[in-house]
Homo-oligomer: A and B are copies of this chain.
Amino acid sequence: MRWRRPGGADQARVLAVLDDWWGALGGEAGSRQRALLLPRLFFQHFADTSLLGEATDGRLTAFLIGFRSAAQPDAAYIHFVGVDPALRRRGVAAGLYRWFFAQAAAGGARRVDAITSPGNATSVAFHTAIGFRIIPGRRTVDGVDVQVDYDGPGLHRIAFTRPLTPADTARASES
């Protein structure tokens, strides 16, 4: 697998594989919703803190879209991560997150924030295993604290935060 920074033109490719990787979840409306969550602007303007993996045949295998917070210099934010289902359980997502931690720490950030949807137990397990803690919320779903209406009416989210540690920075200086 080769890794590179994405560009604006990669947005269409990412959306196309998302429909496949998500098993066309939600049909056309789901596809539209994913497009709205990943407008081209992220690929154009946050490419320097984002990463895209390709197989030797050019197929997209994984990606991470993240950015440094302009308003909160201490914070970096992971917006969207996807891995080809055929490559799951091989540490690809963890590798993407560690790369993000390293470059964020090297750039001076002291924490990384991320969110996920209530009920996504796999995502919750992944985030807590890699050092994120769940921010307390007004409600719980399946025993997990949830931020009600976090992204709009009915758009509840689980919010995570993870401090960046000296180990993250050390990793940055190695790479």
Contact = CB atoms under 8 A, between A and B. Distances in A.
A47 B5 CA distance: 26
Contact of A71 (B15, B36, B47): B47
Interface string A144-175: 00000111111100000000000000000000
A75 interface: yes
A92 interface: no
Interface string A27-65: 000011111111111001111110000000000000000
A1 interface: no
Nearest to A150: B40
A37 B40 contact: no
A153 B31 contact: yes
Nearest to A34: B152
Interface residues of A, number: 37
B71 A68 contact: no
Contacts of A116: none
Contacts of A33: 32, 36
Given A67-B70, A68-B70, A151 B40 contact: yes
A11 B152 contact: yes
A110 interface: no
A72 interface: yes
25 contacts: A11-B151, A12-B149, A15-B153, A31-B152, A32-B33, A32-B154, A33-B36, A35-B151, A35-B152, A35-B155, A36-B36, A36-B151, A38-B152, A39-B151, A40-B151, A44-B69, A44-B71, A44-B72, A45-B72, A45-B75, A45-B77, A48-B70, A48-B71, A49-B70, A67-B70
